[in-house]
Structures are given as C-alpha cells and as structure tokens.
Structure 1
C-alpha cells in the first residue's frame, strides 16, 4: 500500500506532482476536489516552495495589459483593476466593470455567468458564479472570505465560500482572515448540507497550520500581504469521526531558507499510517564560486586609466586608448557578453558559458570613428531598442544619435539619426545631462531620457532604430545644470506595474517619477525621516537596487561603513525604511573607495541578493536576502586566491552578469591580457529532484536551463511583439523511474521555439521538438500538440504497489480540447500499447495494441464520437490544458471537465487483460483486477487499506464510461440528507 500520486511534465517544462485528498462520501457527489499539487516553477506559499492546495478557487485583482486593455497597468486597488478567476481574466459583458450587477465571462469561455455584487471600497463586495451545469458558487460573500487589502476597505480578493447544486446540496469554505497583517488561508470545508430540507453539513475537511521560519512578506499598492504559517495537516472527517490525516513535514533550504516539503504521509484515525512519500531537493546554490581564466591574444591593451590606459571621462585621451565597456547579451543566447569599444573598433567577447569567450572583433557600422576616447565626446546608452531580445547601443553626441542594432553575432547595423525636435546635447552630453534608462511605456523596448535642471528629454523607442522625443517640464523641481552634483538617480519599477520609474535621491528627500505609460510621469516627493545621506548620496554611500523581498517591486539599499539602509517599496510611492547592521563587516566611507558591487540572485530563490568585492583580501562579501528586510552574511574565499585590489576597478575592467546562463549572478575582470570570470555555483534552485514512494520506488528528475543548446533549440521566426526566448529558465530534461527489477524507465525531453508576448500575454509556450531516451533498449516518440515532443518510455508508478516487478507505466500523454459545443464534438484519447486496445494509425487504419506494451511504437489516438462516453481515472489532472497525467490505477467514469477526454492505463506483466476499448457496452469483467463497483460503504472505522479509496461520479446517472473501466453499478437519486448517494465506484489503491 502506498500513498497515490501522479507525476508529469507541463507544457512549460515544469516537473509537476499531484496527490489527491480522499474524502468521506458526499451527497450527490457534491464534495470538494482537493489535492496537494507541486510545480517546479511554482512560488513559495502556504505549502512551502512550489506546492499549492488545489481545489479552493478564488477571484483576485489582476493588472491591465496592452493586449487586453490597450494600456499597461498594475494592481492599485482602484477602478482600473481587472478581475481574474483562478488566473482566467474576467471580461465584462454588461454593466460597469466592477460595479454592482455587472456581468462577466472568462476570457476562454467556460459558459459560466459571473456577476459582481455590492460594493467594498473601490470594487465589488462579492461575486456570484453560475455554471452551465446549474451549480452556484459564491466568492467573498462572508466576512472571512472577503479579503480586504491591509489598511483599506477595498477587497483585494474573494475566496470561494459556498458551492451549491440545483437540488439544494451545498458545501461551505471557512477562512482565517487577519486583515490587520494582510494574511488569509482556508481553515475548513464543510459539505453534505442541503438547504431544501434544512440539513447542515456533517462531513468536513479541516486544515491545520504551523508557524513557518521563513515568513513571506510583500506589498501591493501600499498594503502589506504576508504569510507567516504553513499547512501541516489536512484532516478529513465523516461526521465527527476522523477518516484520514494527511501529515506534511518540512525542511529548510540550506541556501535560501525557504520551506520545502520533505515527506507526506496519510494516517487513519487509529494512528496507523501508510509509508510516507518523500521528496529530495536540489539546493539553491550560490554559497560558493568557481572560476576560469582566459588569455586574450588579440594584442590589444585593455587597461584602465590607473593601469596606464587612456582616460575614460571628458577630456583628451592619454596613453593607450580609452576603452568604453558594455556587458549585455548581444547574441540573445541568455548568457552575458562583453563589448570593448573605441575609435572605429568593436571588440566583442561572446560568452561560451564556461569562462571562455568567442572573440568577435569588427569595425563600427559605416566606419564611424568616435576617437580614441569615445567618452570624451559621446554618451553611451545600451538596451534592446527593437524588442528582439538582443542588446543594441546608442551613442549620443551633439545633435545626433548613432544607433547600433545588434545582428545577434556581435556585429551591428548602424544608422545616424538626428535627435528629435532639433535637440543638441553638446559634447560630451554627460557634462550636463544625467541619463535614465528603462522601458517607460512597458512595450518591451528600451527607452531613455536625459535629465538637466527642470527638464526631461525623453526618447521613446519606435522599434526601428528611431525615437519619439518628448520635452517634459518638471516645473515643481529643479535639479540644477549638473544633476549628479546634488542627487543620485535610482531606477526600477517601484509600483510593480511593468513600467520603469525613477527616483532622484537627495540627502533627506526622494523625488519620485512614476511612469504613466504614455511618456508622462506622476511626481511625488517623499521625505526620508531620520536619515541624511549627504549631497550627493553616492558620494558617501553605495546604492544597490533590486527586488529584495521578491514581491515584484524594486527596492534598494545604501551601503556605508557597518550599516545597510534599506528602502523597501510598498508599491504606492512609499517605502519601509530598515537599518541593518553588518556586524563585524565595515566597508568604510565611501564604500566605493574600496569595493565594487555585484547585484543579482545568487541562490535562485527569486529575491535579489548582492555582494561586495574588494578591500585588502581575496574575499567575496555576500548578502543573501531573507525577504523580510534582512540578510544572511557570508564571507567567501575568492577562487584561486585571486585578489583584484582595492578597489578592483583600479587595475581591472569589471563586468557583472550571468556568463554561463544558469540564472545566477557572476562577474568578470579584464586586464591587459586576461579575462577572469567568477561563477556563482548553482543550479535550478530549490526544486524537487527525487520522489521516493512508500515502497522505495525512486523517480529522479534532472533539470536544464533553456540556455543549454543540448536541451533547447532556438527559433528565429519571432517578430515583435512576440519575443524569442532563450533565457536562464529551468525545464525538465530527463526523468528516470526505477522499474523494480534493477533497471529503470527513462525519458529525455528537449524543447524548441519558446516565445513570449510583450503585450501582456506572457509565455507563448514551447512548440514541438524531438527528444530521445532509452529504457531496456526500447525507443519511442510522442507528439504533444502544443507543447513538448520527446522520445519517452514508461516507469513504475507507486500507485500499484502490488506489482513492483511488473512495470506499471506512468504516462504523460496528449489530450485535445473539444471546440464549439463540447458535448457534441469528437474527442481523442491516447491509450498506447495496451493489449487488445484498438489504435488509429496515422494513415487512418486501425489495429490492436501489441501484448508487450509496445514501448517502441509511436503513440496513436483512440477516437470516441460521444463525449458522454468520456473516460476519467477517478482523479486525473489537466496539465496546462494540453497534457494528461496518467497513473496506473483503476479506471472510474467521470466527466467533471467537459471537453477533455480523460484516461488512465495500467500495464503489468501479470495483468494485461484486454480492456475492450472498441466495445459499445464495457463491463466490469473486462478489467477484473482493476475495478469494481458497489454501494457506498460506511467509513466510521475506515481501515488504512481503504484510505483514498472513495471516488464519486458526478455524471448523470445514466452515463457509462467507455474504454477500459467500470460502468455505473446503480443509479442513486439526488441525495438528500446524506442518506442517498450516487453509487460509489471504489478504487483500491
């Protein structure tokens, strides 16, 4: 006996795992469908990193997008916010959006009517959802399910509080809701109630929580939202009798300190438990560094001014050429590159990911000559001006822009463009103007502006190498002719709306410029109470910006001496100010006199970290963010004992970036003849790499980044606003599952053509590619309609513990959505290699599956012309709308997801009976070892062998499952009072 669970790989390459929560019987099948669900691409939440509680839907606020609304916005708790039902955008069809009585549909129409009711601040008080099956759902219609934004009377989200069917059967959901600290979570679900006869619910699910050592804290439009607990138990009850207790155990990541589930087990009321299912995790990394040195053989002397190179600021060049340096991704492969530039020469160093570089030397476009010290006459701006994912450059000199559009190979196309509106910024522009770089309209293309006095000169990219110019008179503020003499600019997205903002920081005042997305800004002045940073702040303090709590908004710290002064953005232009002692570390004043910063994410937990390098020894002083405004401090030895001096920029050019494409922050130093690259050691982050069943069956998961060419193939067909992606994004590359007899089943996964929509649609998916693998010498190929394509093989799933020697195959097979009227459309189900199963060949012919499971043959699809004969397996999970998870347990008819054909198969060498797929009236004896039907059984003293066995069909009583499975044994009426139920179909797991 073992706790059931199903593994699959999602359309985006995530490793997913789902454990269903078995419940005591429900009236007319109206019970919650609960599960513990994992995704390797999931966030940290109530069940730690990656895990969620499935089956408790909610409606929340979501931001406007260019694609859906023609404008990019954030969640501000105002009338401009939109609403989403479990991630599905609600589209208004009548009434005023957010007003009482307004009606909505989900963007992908689920044929449900959604109506907003009442008013709570600037939005609805609650929502009503009417499904096409006649169910009625209420969201936020109780005090505990209406989640108010902390400190406001406006609801930020609405949890499901009631679900009822047309016969009066209902369930309710209760929550712990503490609006004073911005925390909410479900406490219990009560079901088996019936309003028609006044019957209160008597069966329930109850959730138990414990205090977590890694509280999650963030802000939304000025309101605090936090999670200080984690789920430890899910208890199911029949009346007052405990039926099952799902116990969840945790560990803390040694590098990021986030909560990780390390085991789940289920126990009966008498304390007897099934063996625990355990999970093995990868560490986030970042606690050590490795290094590689590469000789430069092109004969150039890349020396800094202090090391005998030319001057790099305004004025005549002296000595060797005054090189300007840029670090960016010039070929779009997800790895940072280096570009050295002077006169009419470009010296490109394209990272190979291992500390070596492919040198791409070229002349400037059109043989432009910018002199031996370009910085003496020109201002350099780098970014992605056409939105193709590859870095470009602009040099500003006098009245002209010299635009370098990257070709993707380290060379550029160039065009000289007159500055808009006849602007002339002199030579060099930086003598008078301060540049601010960002994406001010959120269209995915880099914009920039120059600030001087009380004017902003804004360059909004058109995407073709030209710019729209806007002159903005600030009016209320004047920063002087040379802004940097008195102020320090901080740029980022401070309100989380996807548009770049910036702040001019004075000694004790913040001058905020919040982008409106149309080229204009909203100004806001914020005093810094109790702190004074001098004029300008950067003269005595080192500013380091990043999202230190992972809430999607830019924060920053100012470093000086033995303290950090943190500005934690609340999302509304206000900041939480935190002073942090660095203990025995003292970085002097100013910090920049001896150290240089390296920012980024060293451990892959989604929160920004940083390090300081320099001083008198070969050390890296690392600051790992805890997410609560504090940091863990690590003193790490520099690889090979390297000591780059104090500060390192005296004798070296310093570049920070991600030079191996693993998503971790690296840095490199360049001097006359060498490049020294230092890598933060890491991997996919805090993700599950192993799953061990209670019977000891091991599944191992291997991940790779999309920057790995062996796993991912690029596609150059994308055009704006679609962006080709090759980024440090981790996907499953291999899965190995023990077969119980000393071998294993293996599946290798490859990906191609990942794209993202820059107007707000997000990841456009990973189109098909081929992969290959081997298991016992067999080869096979599956086609995934809109996601992955791979050569794959089965492995033992622990859900059928009685046949560990048989090789029951865990499959991840395609499923097709039914278009139009789903109840009358053909559906396709995959059932490969089952003995006696009829299969449709690609040429339309049909044949039976072979008796040996046919692992090496392509998957075929079995067609069913009546969706009423839809197949389920008791509890299958839809995977991103495209893939189906299969587990080797008995088949049970169910159709809770109209339009999706569900199927599960079990293959064992001792149980491969024909499953009668072609039969019009399947019966139990087709699969005698796999299923049986019968009346509901009492659960007052459920033994451990019965845990997880209850399955209830919510179909109409005359529906029969097609294919290999069980048909309904009896047609119970619509239950009232909990005494009559649809006939149970019991699956022994």
Structure 2
C-alpha cells in the first residue's frame, strides 16, 4: 500500500474559489461546488460507513444513500457548506475509518457539482501529495505551538500578539494599534459582580473553541468549564457552562492539577485536557458549542496515579513526530512521552531519555526545562539548564531523542547565579529562522544566545539592561514575554511591570531597542491588577 493512499489530500481540477483556510491544510471551504472522495476496499466495510455517514450528515452528503457504494468503490460527494465547518467534520469522521485494513485506496478532489469523484485503479493513479503541502487525516504540517505548566496560553511565532488581562472587574484587552485597553466582558473577574474568580482556585485561558480562528475566553470555575465565544471586534458572548467537570466542585485544584484547552485532533477547535488524580482526562469538542463527557485517556501523568506533582515534575503538550497532533511529554523520574492517536486517545507511555529527569538530579527549583524546536524542522527538542550550562536532546524526527549534549557552557545556569525564583528563561525565535533562541531575564538585564541553526549557539550577550531583577522585576508579580507583536516573525520583549506594559522591539538580528511604554494598564500596582487578583497573557486574539 502506498503511503499516499490514506494520508494525503491531492486536489484534482481544483475549483476557482475553493481554498484551504490555514497552513495546516485540514480546514476547507468550497465555493459553489463539492468535495469528492473515492475509496476502494471491502464492500461490506464501505457500505456500512456510507450508511452511517448518510444518517449523521443528511444535509451535507449529496445522494449518499443511493450512489456511495459500487463494489468495491465508495464515492462521497459533500455539498458546498462554506463557513459552517461541516466539510471538515465529515473529513474528520473519516479519519479513523481510513485506518482500517479494509480500505485500499483513496482519492480526494475539489471541483464543481458536475464533476465526479475519480476512482483509483492502480499504483499509477494513486494520488501524490499536493504541491502546497495540503494534507488531512493526520499528516498535516507539524504543530509548532507548545503548551506547558508555565505556558498555558502560548502565542503564535509570527503574529501581532495582544495583551489580555483577567482583572478584578473582568477581562480587559489591548490590541495592536489601540491607545488604551478595553474591558471586553464584565465576567471572569475577582469582584463579586464579575463572578468571584480566584487565582488560587480557578484557571482562565484563551483558545479557539469554534474553529473560526478567534481566541475565546475559557474559565475553569467552581461549577465546571465556562466559555465566552469571541464574536470579533473585541466582542464576546455571555459565558456559557459547557461542561460540569474539571472545576473546583469536581475536585480539581490549581496546586495539584494541570488543565489545558488545546486542539488534540487537528479539527481547528480546541478540546479540554486535564491532568487529574488518576491520570489524563479528555473532553472532546463536538463542534457545536458543546463538549463530550470527560474520559480517561491515559492512566498515568496523574497526581495519584504516577505521582506527578507540580513542584517535582513538568508536563507539556507538543507535536513530537510532525503529524500535527499534540503529544504528551513528562519530565519525571525519566522523560516519558505518550503519542497522540488523533481521536482523543493516547498510546502507552514510553521512556525516551533518562537525562533531564529527577533520577539524574534535575530539579524544578534549580533547573528550567523546555520542549521547543531548536533545529527548524518543526519537531521539538528537549532543552535543560543544569548546574553547569545548557543541555539539549535533539529530536530524531520520529518522537525519539538523542542523548543530551551540552551546547552552552556555564551560562543560563545555577553555577552562574541563575535562580528559578528570581530569573525567567524562555525559548523564542528572535531572528525568524525557525530555530529557537535562548532568552534570559537576569539581575542586570536580558541576555540572549542566538541559535546558529546547526545545533550550536552564538556567544551569550546582554541585549538590554531593563526588565531585570535589579530594576525590581519579580517572577511572581511581573509577567514577561518574548513574543512577536509586530507581525515580522521576530519575537519582541514585552513586560507587564509595576504600573504599565512595556516593550523592547527586536531589530530582526536579535538586538533590541530601548524599553518603551506600550499601554497604560495591567501593572501590578494598578487597582484590581495585582498578582493576587489577576492573570495576564500575551497571545493572538485574532489570526
């Protein structure tokens, strides 16, 4: 069986106006036409799937009941439903079905309603990858975003990040080009009238739950998960309880349990994933504003089952093998991974390296560790700052890793005076090379090591004498971010200080301009914005 049979989307006679909606290549829009699919395989298997799909999507599939099966070929025509997400829903329904041994060949095309699906009849007619890299069914481009214990809401590597704050009165936003911040919803805040949200009890994040490319507000409250859908132009819908789980009343605790809202299946819509007492629980996004009941996806990585504690271990979500699906990475007694199956389930844990682990004397209170792409291949590597320097275990490309090697000697490390409780270290692309650079906020300023792209780094240098401990910036009170806010793909330095938000712009070569005020608000000394009451992020509210 050719590797192209089930995995690649190969447009044939693509219709004018039909297009891919994003670079990952799995969300489609059709312009007054149809999407055709043709599969070859077991007649019984194909007929059963045709009947199931017809019943589930009667308004989407065209003449499916009468014309889908002509043994041993299964043809589907999907009507033009641009903007509703139904085409993508049907394609994702087929994802697991296409893994069956009974399906031999697959051809897909975008075309007009008068065209018919093409039936493959041999190796010469098997589809080849589209020139633009478009793909579906689990072979999309690598997902570069990484979620971690200290990065619940990551920002796009290229884009104009916005400032979002959950304060006493509700949620305020500053967007690029604005002179001031704006209260976008009087909910999710500390005050009684704003919902009585507490930093020590409730998690609040942003994620696209609708597939429209806009970040919605998601909160884990006492009762469960509330979502305020982003309607565009800084307007948000009233919060809606979508799931009576993952909340305080269900036993979830900030000091014990991690919770993320992230797209686990490449649907374009975020699902809910929580690391609870008994393991990893997942609630899948149904695509209609509701979520399925949570299910145990991994019987490990839990507070009780596995003994994973926030102060002794680290857990991340990252696409390790380039299939576009977020896998689980855990730094515990060893480094363990659980590969995403693409359907809300995960494979059994596998140890990938013993380095960076508690068993090798790596500790959360001394040694920062990261999962980030350092080589530009789209597959993240493992990075750690030990006592004597920076170590990296490079991804082999299949989710396994080389042994750790030292890449920077006696910098960003404990022996050089770097302390987790005082100094912040991040991995960010400063030069738009696709390779992560190392940025650290030290006593006397911000230091950076530029990635050479060949698994080595340039000498560490101080890039600005601001945002530092000596200037009264504190890890627990003054969030600092290294994200792109200009849209040039080169990360800038942004800090939310005592009173306001400040920025130092990147010149594209890893050098930074003076610290300037970005917006007056959000600072720790501002009423309603102190660390005991507020949570602040920099992320992309809109594409």
User: Do they fold alike, i.e. is TM over 0.5?
Assistant: yes
2:292 corresponds to 1:501 = no
Deviations 1:439-474 (A, max 9, x none): 210112222311123332212223444322331163
For residues 587-666 of structure 1, what are the structure 2 equivalents within 5 Å?
Answer: 587-588=413-414, 591-614=419-442, 616-618=443-445, 620-638=446-464, 643-645=468-470, 648-649=474-475, 652-666=478-492
* 8 A contact 2:412–2:440 mirrored in 1: no
Q: Distance in 1 between matches of 2:90 and 2:211?
A: 16
The answer on whether the counterparts of 2:279 and 2:300 sit within 8 Å (CA) in structure 1 is: no
Q: In the aligned structure 1, how far is the partner of 2:105 from the partner of 2:435?
A: 27
The residue aligned with 1:291 is: none
CA contact (8 A) 1:365 1:412 kept: no
* 2:388 pairs with one of 541, 562, 566: 562
Task: Give the Cα separation in 2 of the matches to 1:476 and 1:371.
Answer: 33
In the alignment, the residues of structure 2 paired with residue 422 and residue 584 of structure 1 have an alpha-carbon distance, to the nearest angstrom, of: 42
> Given the alignment, which residue of 640, 643, 668 partners 2:494?
668
Instruction: Please say if residues 546 and 608 of structure 1, whose CA atoms lie closer than 8 Å, have aligned partners that are also in contact.
Output: yes
Q: Which residue of 1 aligns with 2:514?
A: none
User: 1:682 Cα shift?
Assistant: 2.0
Deviation at 1:487, TM superposition (A): 2.1
Question: For the Cα contact (< 8 Å) 2:394–2:401, is it kept in 1?
Answer: yes
Per-residue Cα deviation, 1:487-545 (whole angstroms, up to 9, x for no partner): 210221001101111112113x1221211111111123215346644688433211223
- 1:302-346 Cα offsets, whole Å, 9 max, x none, are xxxxxxxxxxxxxxxxxxxxxx997868xxx94111122134422
* Structure 2 CA distance for partners of 1:477 and 1:106, relative to 1, 3 Å: closer
Partners of 2:188 and 2:219 within 8 A in 1: no
Counterpart Cα distance in 1 of 2:130 and 2:164: 46
Classify 1:66/1:623 alpha carbon distance in 2 versus 1 (closer, same or farther; 3 Å): farther
- Cα 1:649–1:455 shift into 2, 3 Å: closer
| Distance (whole Å) between structure 2 residues aligned to residue 108 and residue 570 of structure 1 | 25
1:483 is matched with 309
Map 1:49-448 → 2, pairs under 5 A:
93-95=120-122, 103-104=125-126, 334-352=159-177, 357-365=179-187, 369=193, 374-419=198-243, 426=250, 429-448=253-272
Q: Contact between 2:278 and 2:303, CA under 8 Å: does it hold in 1? A: yes
Number of corresponding residues: 389
Tell me if structure 2 keeps the 8 A contact 1:402–1:414.
Answer: no
**Would you say the 8 A contact 1:401–1:419 is kept in 2?**
yes
Number of the residue aligned with 2:340? 515
Aligned CA distance change for structure 1 residues 562 and 477 (closer, same or farther; 3 Å): closer
| Unmatched segments (≥5 aa) in structure 1 | 1-10, 13-64, 85-90, 96-100, 110-219, 221-323, 684-723, 728-989
| Residue equivalent to 2:411 | 585
CA distance in 2, matches of 1:542, 1:502: 18
Matches of 1:347 and 1:327 in 2, distance apart? 18
* CA distance 1:537–1:452, shift in 2 (3 Å): farther
**What is the deviation of 1:71?**
5.8
- What secondary structure is seen at the aligned counterpart in 2 of 1:612? strand
The aligned residue for residue 919 of structure 1 is: none
Offset at residue 366 of structure 1 (A)? 9.7
Displacement after TM superposition at 1:594 (Å): 3.0
Change (3 A) 1:586 1:624: closer
Q: Secondary structure at the match of 2:458?
A: strand
- Label 1:530 to 1:416 Cα distance change in 2 as closer, same or farther (>3 A): closer
In structure 2, the CA distance between the partners of 1:569 and 1:516, relative to structure 1 (3 Å rule), is: same
Q: Distance in 1 between the 2:204 and 2:274 partners?
A: 12
Of 456-465 and 335-344, more deviation after overlay is shown by 456-465
Compared with structure 1, are the counterparts of its residues 435 and 417 closer, same or farther at alpha carbon in structure 2 (3 Å cutoff)? Answer: same
Q: Matched residues in 2 for 1:477 and 1:325: separation?
A: 17
What do residues 64-113 of structure 1 show as CA deviations (whole Å, max 9, x unaligned)?
Answer: x988786669xx9x9999999xxxxxx87125xxxxx564356999xxxx
Between the aligned partners of 2:322 and 2:128, the Cα distance in structure 1 is 24
1:107–1:492 CA distance, 2 compared to 1 (3 A): closer
Q: Check the 8 A contact 2:449/2:457 in 1, yes or no.
A: yes
**Aligned residue number for residue 952 of structure 1:** none
Say whether 1:677 aligns with 2:498.
Answer: no
How far, CA to CA, are the matches of 1:681 and 1:336 in structure 2? 17
**How far did 1:623 drift?**
2.5
Residues 677-716 of structure 1 aligned to structure 2 (within 5 Å): 677-682=503-508
Are 2:297 and 2:344, in contact at CA under 8 Å, matched by a contact in 1? no
Match of 1:538 in 2: 364
Distance 1:467 1:359 in 2: 32
DSSP 3-state at the match of 1:497? coil
Instruction: Indicate the larger mover: 567-576 or 582-591.
Output: 582-591
1:604, CA displacement in angstroms?
1.2
Report the structure number with the largest CA radius of gyration.
1
CA contact (8 A) 1:325 1:339 kept: no
Whether the 8 Å contact between 2:105 and 2:126 is mirrored in structure 1 is no
Deviations 1:605-646 (A, max 9, x none): 1222231112x212x22122233332223313316x564547
Matches of 1:79 and 1:540 in 2, distance apart?
53
Change (3 A) 1:420 1:563: same
Q: What's the offset of the Cα at 1:406?
A: 1.9
- Give the 3 Å change call, closer, same or farther, for CA 651–489 of structure 1 in structure 2: closer
Mapped partners of 1:371, 1:627: distance in 2: 48
Contact 1:562/1:583 (<8 A) preserved: yes
Whichever structure has more strand as a proportion of its residues is 1
Q: Distance in 2 between matches of 1:79 and 1:636?
A: 60
2:400 is aligned to 574
Partner of 1:690: none
Structure 1 residues 425 and 633, CA gap change in structure 2 (3 angstroms): farther
